[in-house]
Amino acid sequence: MIEFKNVDFGYSDRLILCDISFKVAKNESVAIMGPSGSGKSTILRLLLGLECPHRGTITIDGMNICQMKEREKREIRKTMGMVFQNGALFDSLTVGENVGYYLIEHSDLEYAEISARVHEMIGFVGLNADEIIDKLPDELSGGMQRRVAIARALLSTNPKVMMYDEPTTGLDPESTKNILQLMQKLKKEREVSSLMVTHQIADAVSIADKFIVISGGEIAYDGKLDGLIRSKDERVVTFLTPFIESLAEVNREQFTSD
């Protein structure tokens, strides 16, 4: 579904990504990890077509997004959902207005139909629409705001791909669990592929089929969990050292359950 091939990107004073190549299959969950400033979030901007690489290609369903006009990019973006670290909800709009924003602004649907879809989507992400639909975002917990953001992304785009930029950072354990379960639900029930940029190793392990480690703008690892744990690449070892015991325990549990 998605392929980065030999992608370079940077600015006049520095190179951010160097020779990046990886693939994301349909209904696959990929965790992109690495130290701060390694270029992880830049990958999401490139995938959205907000930036274009200096070299290489980025294809979505076989189409090179870098060669598209802006109108064509907007159509491609309708197949992708984006959830930011802080939710990025409109502070002055209610929950219902946030979730239904795209339909309100860009469709000819009657209010009653939009309202019904908003209620349904809020329920899908595990929230009670009747309780929160008229509340403002700052009246919700951080975890609830993230779920509302996911609801908005789903109702706006009906995505084939969901992108998450640090979706659980700053959340308490219960809220984190809810977000991860929702991501798994999207994969199981809607066959949505996902790319999650995160430095929360335990969260990545709980949902990802594949792991990509970015270090210094380069791919240091691209593969499954067992290979990640066994990697001898110094960049990977340095990044994972604080987490290696918990990763090994998760891996042992996986093989035991299999």
- Token pair belonging to 10: 């940077």
What residue spans define the domains of the chain?
1-79+193-258
Q: Does pLDDT of 252 surpass 60?
A: no
Task: Report the range of poorest mean pLDDT among 3-12, 75-84, 112-121, 193-202.
Answer: 75-84
What's the whole-number average pLDDT of the chain?
Answer: 88
- For the domain made up of 1-79+193-258, give the CATH fold: Rossmann fold (3.40.50)
What average pLDDT does this structure show over 176-181?
90
**pLDDT reading at 171 higher than 80:** yes
Distance CA 126, CA 62 (A): 34
Report how far Cα 217 is from the mean position of its chain's Cα atoms.
19
Of 222, 17, 64, 40, the C-alpha closest to 6 is 17
C-alpha closest to that of 99 among 165, 168, 147: 147
**Reported confidence tier of residue 229, pLDDT bands at 50, 70, 90:** confident
How do residues 90-116 score in pLDDT, each as one tens digit? 899 999 999 998 888 888 889 899 999
- Residue 109's identity, in one-letter code, is L
Q: What's the pLDDT band for 235 if we cut at 50, 70, 90? A: very high
pTM metric for this prediction: 0.85
In contact, 143 and 172? CB cutoff 8 Å:
yes
The dihedral sign for the CA sequence 182, 29, 52, 12: positive
- pLDDT per position as a tens digit, 137-164: 999 998 899 899 999 988 877 788 999 9
Residue with tokens 């089929």: 209
Which percentage of the chain shows pLDDT scores above 70?
A: 93
Nearest to 81 by CA among 197, 175, 163, 193: 163
> Whole-angstrom Cα distance, residue 83 to residue 26?
19
Report pLDDT digits (tens) over 51-77. Answer: 889 999 999 988 899 888 988 888 888
Residue with tokens 């209010």, as numbered in its chain: 111
pLDDT the model gives residue 256:
46
